[in-house]
Amino acid sequence: MTRVLDQTVEPVGRNRSRVGRIASALPIGVRGIRTSTAALPTGLSVLGFLVLISLTSALWTPYSPTATGTGPVSAAPTGAHWFGTDSVGSDVFSRTVAAGRTDVLYTLTVVAIALLVGSVWGAIVGYFGGWLEWATLRLLEVVQAFPALLMVLFIISIVGPGTINVILVAAIIPLPDFVRLARAEVLTKKNWQFAEAARMVGNRPMVVLFKHLMPNSLRPLLAYASISAAWVVGSIAALGYIGLGIQPDAVEWGSMIARGQSDVMAGDWWESFFPGIGILLLAIGFQLVGDGLSSHRGEER
Amino acid sequence: MAVETTGLLSLRGFAVPGFVRQVRRRLAGAFLVVFGVVTLTFLFTRVFAADPTTLLAPPNATAAERAAVRSRLGLGDPLPVQYFHYLGDLLHGNLGTSYLTGRPVTSDLLERLPATAELATYALILGILGGVTAGVLAAVFEGSIFDRMLRVVTSAGLALPQFWVALMLLWFFFVKFGLLPGPTGRLPIGMAPPPTVTGFYLIDSVVTGHLSDFGPALAQLCLPVLTLSSGVWAPLARGARSAMVLALKSDYVRTARALGLSRRRIWFVYALRNALLPVITMLAGAVAWAFSGSVLVEGAFGWPGVGHYALSALEGSDFPAVEGFVLYASILYVIVYQLLDLAYYLADPRIRS
């Protein structure tokens, strides 16, 4: 009895991945939590607000984000410059909102790639098993033994900077967790009656997998996508901060923080403060949506 | 073999051979992963990396001079040969020579490890105590103001980029109010460290009687420890909270309550012990992460640890150093993970079947 129980619990409870452990703890943890139902709407409105600002910034910002000398140099926030100006007189508000566009876009692309590739890969190895599954799991173990951020920096320093490289390399980090999650989802569901029925009427394996099984796993995958997005926001910013991959003078939150660093040490806090708040809001938004999606799932059960 | 000793040697009710088998299985697993890590690192640096001769040879070097550099580095050999040399070197603890410092990477890392270890130890203690306490209290008072506040604070804690936290803390405590010292590393500039006993300045200054070092070293530690622990306590608080909530809703807690045991006894004796088990596994990531020296936190505070070393190596394209650090960090992760998994195995009778 306990034996059977342990075996079904094992892939979840003793997951090897760092983030995966948190994610896989969710369905268990959440079951007991009286979750605030406000998480999902709050998260969605935070994200909606940021996306709206980003879209607006593409059409209009008070000053050009790249223009210098829009006002006095290194001025504290005023009515004319809401977030102040930096050491070359650029408007920090315009730069912050324009940078948000970069970060939102990068994050969504990275997560979309990881989600798509990871869940297809995980679903296939989960459904068919065999040596491919074994090799996948071993590979994931190896990849996840590397310190995440450092691996990104390491690979970027080798393959060179550039938008495409940064996006592809950053997608490697959340990828293993999507593979594991999709695999676990398919493993638990592939022998359920509806899957059996779908096979029985003569559907081919791929059809059963992607038309009947995967749609049932969409919610946990999306919940995890949102949670990992919060992590991706931070690593994109970290890449910009270090100046590897994303150009140091790019209009991006991490790069802005790095550029303002010496000014902050001279007392001008605003140049680095506001981009940080941007990162914080975006990450919290994703986190809340992820929490909301996964706890909603818990309530259904 | 397993059968012979069963029952003769048993520790807290389970057969030692089972434990030995566990250890052996884990060692084999860990070995495979480490081997994979080593191979992948090798492939990355030797196959995809830029030609190091552009760094080591003068810009106007002739092709012959470049070839000389290549053969000196052993890069002229075919890949499989290089790979075997590489494995052999690793087995001797030789991680290669840093391009930047010109010294063996192993000794560079060992020299910087105490700084990282001191920072990591205090940050972990603070993070684990704070995180677990907050999480457990939030679960006990589930739905209270404290619980809700904690939810918001941990969300922020998970989302905050640490390089930004470091910068803002520095602005507030150093630039604005001058309460704490600036990012000058482990001691103010010009101050001599205490004689080395453990490599931890706080402990060494007390043990060797250099008490004048204690205060400044402590002041230097405050902000980096605070920053680093923010990355530890937020996920732990969440994990501890959900584990504790689950434990409090369990059948055994209900039974204990029905038997009329005091609430305090139920919370801290029955529920807590079970709730802490899943937290053990979460610790692996935190411990390994802290000891591999958060690259960005050490960078921001000028902390002379291994993370700082890795950062300057990355910026200077010093591949042997980066490679050495990546190997160190991932092997550390594998070891810590396996050890904690084993601790979990020992602590939880349910998974010893």
In this prediction, residue A114 carries a pLDDT of: 96
Taking chain B, what is the end-to-end CA distance rounded to the nearest angstrom?
18
A residues 126..185 contacting B (CB < 8 A): 138-139, 141-143, 145-147, 149-151, 153-155, 157-159
Q: How far is B160 from chain A (nearest CA, A)?
A: 6
Neighbours of B14 (CB within 10 A): 14
pLDDT digits over B284-314, tens only?
Answer: 778 877 887 678 889 889 899 998 998 888 8
B106-134: average pLDDT: 92
Contacts of B171 in chain A (CB under 8 A): 264-265, 267, 269
**Are A2 and B159 inside 8 Å of each other by CB?**
no
**Are A22 and B239 inside 8 Å of each other by CB?**
yes
pLDDT digits over A232-259, tens only?
Answer: 998 889 888 888 777 767 788 999 998 8
Distance CA B127, CA B230 (A): 7
Contacts of A142 in chain B (CB under 8 A): 33, 36-37, 40
Distance CA B197, CA B311 (A): 27
Higher pLDDT, B351 or B169: B169
Least confident of A131-140, B14-23, B299-308: B14-23
CA distances, A177 to each of A48, A244, B86, B254 (Å): 26, 25, 31, 35
> DSSP string of B147-169?
HHHHHHHHHHHHHS-HHHHHHHH
pTM for this one? 0.82
- Does the pLDDT at position B1 exceed 50? no
B residues 286..325 contacting A (CB < 8 A): 288-289, 292, 295-296, 310-311, 314-315, 317, 322, 325
The residue to which tokens 């109010």 are assigned: B177
In this prediction, residue A6 carries a pLDDT of: 32
pLDDT digits over A82-111, tens only?
Answer: 788 888 878 888 889 999 998 999 999 999
**For residues B143, B165, B128 and B262, what is the CA-based torsion angle, rounded to 10 degrees?**
-20
DSSP SS3 for A91 = strand
DSSP SS3 for B15 = strand
DSSP-derived letter for residue B191 is: P
Q: How far is B76 from chain A (nearest CA, A)?
A: 20
Contacts of B314 in chain A (CB under 8 A): 153-154, 157, 242, 244
The residue to which tokens 């190896």 are assigned: A142
B109 touching A, CB under 8 A? no
Residue of A nearest to B234 (CA): A22
Buried-state track A85-102, b at ≥16 Cβ within 10 A, e below 16:
bbeebbbbbbbbbbbbbb
- Does the pLDDT at position B223 exceed 80? yes
Contacts of A238 in chain B (CB under 8 A): 161, 163, 296
Residue of B nearest to A261 (CA): B167
> Which element (helix H / strand E) includes A121?
helix A92-128
In this prediction, residue B52 carries a pLDDT of: 63
A30, A142, A173: best mutation site toward chain B, by most B Cβ within 10 Å?
A142
Least confident of A126-130, B73-77, B313-317: B73-77
Distance CA A236, CA B214 (A): 38
**Are B163 and A257 inside 8 Å of each other by CB?**
yes
* Alpha helix stretches (DSSP H) within chain B: 2-5, 16-43, 53-56, 63-72, 79-91, 105-140, 145-159, 162-170, 201-207, 214-248, 251-258, 263-265, 272-291, 295-301, 306-315, 319-347
B160 touching A, CB under 8 A? yes
The ipTM, to two decimals, is 0.80
Contacts of A18 in chain B (CB under 8 A): 285
> Which element (helix H / strand E) includes B14?
strand B14-15
DSSP SS3 for A63 = coil
Average pLDDT, chain B: 82
Contacts of A157 in chain B (CB under 8 A): 314, 317, 322
pLDDT digits over B243-264, tens only?
Answer: 899 888 888 888 988 898 888 8
Residue B157 and residue B230 in contact, taking contact as beta carbons nearer than 8 Å = yes
pLDDT digits over B152-171, tens only?
Answer: 888 888 888 889 999 999 99
pLDDT digits over A2-28, tens only?
Answer: 333 333 333 333 333 444 344 444 443
Neighbours of A38 (CB within 10 A): 11
Name the residue among A228, A223, A241, A222 with its Cα closest to residue A283. Answer: A228
**Are A29 and B33 inside 8 Å of each other by CB?**
no
The residues, ordered by sequence, that sit 6+ positions from A60 with a Cβ below 8 Å of its Cβ are none
Name the residue among A284, A282, A288, A294 with its Cα closest to residue A223. Answer: A294
